[in-house]
Amino acid sequence: MRKSLLALAAGLLLAGSVSAASAADKLKVGFVYLGPIGDLGWTYQHDLGRQALVKELGDKIETTYLENVPEGPDSERAIEQLVRAGNKLIFTTSFGYMDPTLKVAKKYPNVHFEHATGYKRNPNMSTYSAKWYQGRYIQGLIAAKMSKSGVLGYIGSFPIPEVVSGINATILAAQTINPNIKVKIIWANTWFDPGKEADAAKALIDQGADVIMQHTDSPAAMQIASERGKLAFGQDSEMIQFGPKAQLTSIINSWGPYYIERVKAELAGTWKSEDTWGGLDSRMFAMAPYTNMPDDVKKMAEDAQAAITAGKLHPFKCPIVGQDGKPVECKGGGHLDDGQILSMNFYVKGIDDKLPGK
Amino acid sequence: MQLVLEKRSERSGTIALVSPLIAIGLTIVTMVILFAILGKNPLLALHAYFIAPLTDGYSLQEIAVKATPLVMIAIGLSLCYLANAWNIGAEGQFLIGAVAGSWIAVKTQGTDAGAWVLPAMLVLAAAAGALYALIPAICKVKFGASEILTSLMLVYVADLFLDYLVRGPWRDPHGFNFPITAEFDPVATVPLLIEGGRLHLGSIIALLVVAAAAILLGRTIKGFEIRVVGAAPRAARFGGFNANQLIILTFAVSGALAGLAGIIEVAGPVGHLQPGISPGYGFTAIIVAFLGRLNPLGILIAGLFLALTFIGGEQAQIAMKIPLDVTKVFQGILLFYVLACDSLILYRFKLVFPNRKVVARGAG
């Protein structure tokens, strides 16, 4: 009896230590989020990606996230906290985390980092982003077809190349339908602030815009467009529930496959510093169903999507004329090259506005 | 039987001392209940919040880094509040200080400017913060404008001014249009105290500020004046103390300290000027000032304690997957209990037994 009890105790201890060991063997993967996971936009999509990762590799990894991390000195601490908690692969999911991520990466060469939408890399720090301008081009086509006033409203976050290239792609597409198309731009100076985003949408509608597009993260603008009976494009996420009669389509980010691929590489020991810039063909983002538009517009959008995915249509095909009336140098053979798009700091002709800081 | 609050004939000194402890105790009890409801082990959660960050050097450094601006601003605010001058705009003075100091850093960037750069930045930031705080103070003294309102409104002015600068003239030409200045040169950066860490000279400055405030309030006539004007304005007038002069003085000092905290934050942990350099330090410092009972040593402890809840909150998020919102609830509950317990300094609970006969007669 006593012997069997001892055996049982030993067995329990052994089982305990085994499970402890397997927990310790799990690869720890950390995420730093800009907004709350319930923002229903940018951060929400990253967290969906994390959840997809857990579903796929949950028995081999353990994930942790820090949400609502401001893009200041607090972010450096947040990243370092994740390192110190044993995370070996850390995704930092906002442009403003670039310098803090790099600082921590240099301090911990044995930990791997992945920074979204930035341009600084290190042997242990990759970058990843998506060619959203492709989706913007499709939106520009639809917007020009659907706008009765010929005025589009655009809510920008920060005038960084990613956002500027989105505005240019939109207007270049719209000009192929309506050469006199106008765009009003409001800089919200934030990625996520539903109050400010809603105010911007109201102001744009008051200025005559009847199609609202945004490069900010919350569904607030969609709700305003819906209330006012206008049309709008969602951003980052499916937003049809906020504007069943308003949403034309939405650029839906899909980070899951990328996260799974990178974690698999880490598990296999083949991770290396890379720069990934995924387009429609890579499925790093997708277009939400084309809704609230006539069939011919829908067909046009689908055709454009197919052409871009197949590489037959490039949103920045030359000639591209800048606001100053001079053609932009064409480095990519028939279209602008990736470097030009990634550092885009000019408006194309036809945008009746001034790029902030220019 | 009824429970009523009865005004004490004089402030209870004992309660004034133990009230923060009661508040912290009540907060912990409430949090334990909350953790239990969330299905988290309360002991482990409290450990993650309060004990774990105190057990390694890294977290201790981070607590000091986080507490530095809070303590510096709160010390200045406490002088105002003691003198009955309500400076709510420390956030704006913080930002203006950061801007003014950064001006030197931006203008000397890439030149071979010497070691004078950082001291000049600190002095200019303090001066700018003081001048900015003088606007509401003078409006108060000359025109009777509410300093609460004017100082608060100036926060937004400062915020937009900073925004304009980093988007326009001071933008890093190689920063891809992102609204930040270039990284400051080493001569324009607050030196680190520990190689490879984040603890910087600013924390030492904060300690000096605490000591100076303690001496000012405890050992000088000026300190006495500040306390008398705040506690007994009439008596102060008879004593020949000039309340208006003190409003100007305390506002200037608190603006200078907020401005200094601003440049130390920018030239220290941040390393460049950008929007969002302050996650509301100027407002959180108001909590710190009151949590510390407007006493320099108390403020030091309160600042460190609040920093601990930030760092601990992060570690709880990592270690136990406790949502960030719980940390915010936690800070809110703490403030609530502090204010509630403070009412016990001036009031006491009393059980009142209504006189039945009187009630019966009245009813009849």
Model pLDDT for residues B32-89, shown as the tens digit of each residue? 999 999 888 889 888 888 898 998 888 999 999 999 999 999 999 999 999 999 999 9
Chain A: residue whose CA lies nearest to B277: A72
Are A72 and B279 in contact (CB < 8 Å)? yes
B276 CA: distance to closest CA in chain A (Å):
7
Question: B-side interface with A, Cβ within 8 Å?
Answer: 58, 62, 65-66, 163, 167-168, 171, 176-179, 183, 196, 198, 265, 269-272, 274-279, 311, 314-315, 317-319, 321, 323-325
Chain B: residue whose CA lies nearest to A81: B315
Confidence of residue A12 (pLDDT cuts 50, 70, 90): very low
Partner residue facing A356 (CB), from B62, B167, B275: B167
Whole-angstrom distance, CA of residue A331 vs CA of residue A340: 8
Partner residue facing A161 (CB), from B66, B176, B319: B176
B277 CA: distance to closest CA in chain A (Å):
6
Confidence of residue B286 (pLDDT cuts 50, 70, 90): very high
| Average pLDDT of the residues in A311-331 | 91
The helix/strand/coil state of A252 is strand
Confidence (pLDDT) at A11: 43
Structure tokens at B126: 């303090």
Is A236 an 8 Å CB contact of chain B? no
Q: What does DSSP assign to residue A279?
A: -
Confidence of residue A261 (pLDDT cuts 50, 70, 90): very high
| Pairing mode of beta strands A112-116, A151-156 | unpaired
Model pLDDT for residues A333-352, shown as the tens digit of each residue? 889 988 889 888 899 999 98
B111 CA: distance to closest CA in chain A (Å):
23
Residues in A 155-184 with any Cβ partner in B closer than 8 A: 158-161, 164
Confidence (pLDDT) at A357: 66
Chain B: residue whose CA lies nearest to A340: B176
What is the CA angle A167-A168-A169, rounded to 5? 95
A160 CA: distance to closest CA in chain B (Å):
5
The helix/strand/coil state of B175 is coil
Taking alpha carbons only, the member of A42, A108, A45, A62 closest to residue A81 is A108
The helix/strand/coil state of A154 is strand
Between B353 and A268, where is the model more confident? A268
Between A54 and B173, where is the model more confident? A54
Picking from B60, B174, B178 by the largest number of A CB atoms within 10 A of its own CB, the best residue to mutate is: B178
Percentage of the residues of chain B whose pLDDT score is greater than 90: 51
What is the CA angle B72-B278-B91, rounded to 5? 60
Confidence of residue B304 (pLDDT cuts 50, 70, 90): very high
Chain centroid, CA A242 distance in Å: 20
Between A298 and B352, where is the model more confident? A298
Chain A: residue whose CA lies nearest to B276: A72
Q: How far is CA A207 from CA A167, A183, B190, in A?
A: 18, 10, 47
Are A85 and B319 in contact (CB < 8 Å)? yes
Between B285 and B231, where is the model more confident? B285
Model pLDDT for residues A143-201, shown as the tens digit of each residue? 999 999 999 999 999 888 899 999 999 999 999 999 999 999 999 988 889 999 999 99
| Average pLDDT of the residues in B262-273 | 93
Whole-angstrom distance, CA of residue A210 vs CA of residue B327: 42
A206 and A198 Cβ atoms separated by less than 8 Å: no
Distance between first and last Cα of chain B? 21
Question: What phi and psi values does residue A168 have, to the nearest 5 degrees?
Answer: -65, -45
Q: What does DSSP assign to residue B182?
A: P
Residue with tokens 């084309």: A290
B130 CA: distance to closest CA in chain A (Å):
25
Chain B: residue whose CA lies nearest to A32: B318
Confidence of residue B142 (pLDDT cuts 50, 70, 90): very high
Picking from B176, B194, B203, B320 by the largest number of A CB atoms within 10 A of its own CB, the best residue to mutate is: B176
Instruction: Please determine, for the modelled complex, whether the ipTM score is greater than 0.85.
Output: no
Structure tokens at B45: 């959660």
Are B270 and A72 in contact (CB < 8 Å)? yes
Are A356 and B168 in contact (CB < 8 Å)? yes
Confidence of residue B362 (pLDDT cuts 50, 70, 90): very low
Picking from B177, B278, B324 by the largest number of A CB atoms within 10 A of its own CB, the best residue to mutate is: B177
Domain parsing of chain B, residue ranges: 68-305
Cβ–Cβ pairs < 8 A, chains A and B: 81
Model pLDDT for residues B346-358, shown as the tens digit of each residue? 788 887 776 655 5
Model pLDDT for residues A101-154, shown as the tens digit of each residue? 999 999 999 999 999 988 889 999 999 999 999 999 999 999 999 999 999 999
Confidence (pLDDT) at A9: 45
Kind plus residue range of the DSSP H or E element containing A205: helix A194-206
Taking alpha carbons only, the member of A214, A206, A161, A225 closest to residue A190 is A214
Identify all chain B residues contacting A160, using CB atoms and an 8 Å cutoff: 176-178
Taking alpha carbons only, the member of A285, A356, A182 closest to residue B171 is A356
Structure tokens at B277: 């350099």
Identify all chain B residues contacting A30, using CB atoms and an 8 Å cutoff: 318
Partner residue facing B324 (CB), from A68, A76, A159: A68
Identify all chain A residues contacting B262, using CB atoms and an 8 Å cutoff: none
Report cis status (omega within 30 of 0) of the bond before B20.
no
Partner residue facing B196 (CB), from A67, A107, A357: A107
Identify all chain A residues contacting B323, using CB atoms and an 8 Å cutoff: 67
